[in-house]
Amino acid sequence: MTPGLTTPSTNTLTNGQNSPIDEDNRPPGWRNNEISSFLDESNILPRSRRNAHAVALQEVNQLSGYYAALSSAYLTLPKKRLHRDEVPEPPKGYNAMLKHPYLIEYKQAMLKEFNGLMDRGTFEYKEHSNDEKLVLLMWVYANKFDEDGFLTNFKAKLVARGDLYKTEEETYAATLAA
């Protein structure tokens, strides 16, 4: 070792005169967040890295404020808007909707549509007799986009199954002849 040179202790940082550096005894130009080549052994975990997660979970009560701040900051981030090219086709029926990646969004749209129909008095509950014909219904799903092609909302409409009913006149033949 060269005379006159001092090496810092591995436990504390020194200012060259073998006295520890603290808030009152900082050299000029000292910065708190500066990266240093001095090693502080108190920052090293005595166990392997595999146990680091377990150690962090043991001290979770001390970190709850940080987690709360992180989660609230995450919730304020703007959500990624989906473009028309990234959204799958809307489901063709109720059973297809149950397997769709946006199942929750379509169920929310269905609930909104059904509650709207009930508020307007569209339906009336009554007993069904065998001689009455029931109007069969089906759900129709759609995606709504803005003028730039970004998804704005999911739509669900409850419609009557008109394809199952025949009229007394064959009106579709007239349209084919025209």
pLDDT, tens only, 13-62: 554 555 555 656 666 655 555 566 666 676 666 666 666 666 666 666 66
Identity at 66, one-letter amino acid code: Y
Same domain, 112 and 151: yes
Same domain, 151 and 123: yes
Which pLDDT score is estimated for 7? 46
| This model's pTM is above 0.75 | no
The boundaries of the domain holding residue 16 are: 1-44
Same domain, 65 and 13: no
Same domain, 39 and 58: no
Is pLDDT larger for residue 13 or for residue 169?
169
For 61, phi and psi rounded to 5 degrees? -65, -25
Would 35 be classed as within a structural domain?
Answer: yes
Would 68 be classed as within a structural domain?
Answer: yes
Which pLDDT score is estimated for 26? 63
Same domain, 113 and 131: yes
Same domain, 34 and 67: no
Which pLDDT score is estimated for 102? 94
Q: How buried is 154 (Cβ within 10 angstroms: 0-12 exposed, 13-18 middle, 19+ buried)?
A: buried
Same domain, 99 and 136: yes
Would 172 be classed as within a structural domain?
Answer: no
* Token pair recorded at residue 65: 């404020």
CA dihedral of 28, 33, 39, 42, whole degrees rounded to 10: 120
Would 173 be classed as within a structural domain?
Answer: no
Would 69 be classed as within a structural domain?
Answer: yes
Instruction: Write down how long the chain is.
Output: 178
Same domain, 141 and 160: yes
What's the domain count of the chain? Answer: 3
Would 4 be classed as within a structural domain?
Answer: yes
Alpha helices, DSSP H, located in 15-119 = 52-58, 60-76, 94-97, 103-119
Which pLDDT score is estimated for 11? 44
Which pLDDT score is estimated for 115? 92
Would 82 be classed as within a structural domain?
Answer: no
For 157, phi and psi rounded to 5 degrees? -125, 140
Same domain, 118 and 138: yes
Would 175 be classed as within a structural domain?
Answer: no
* Element spanning 175, H or E: helix 171-177
Share of the chain above pLDDT 90, in %: 33
Give me the mean pLDDT over the 138-148 stretch: 94
Distance between CA 70 and CA 83 in Å, rounded? 28
Which pLDDT score is estimated for 88? 94
Longest dimension (CA), the chain: 114
Same domain, 114 and 135: yes
Distance between CA 126 and CA 137 in Å, rounded? 16
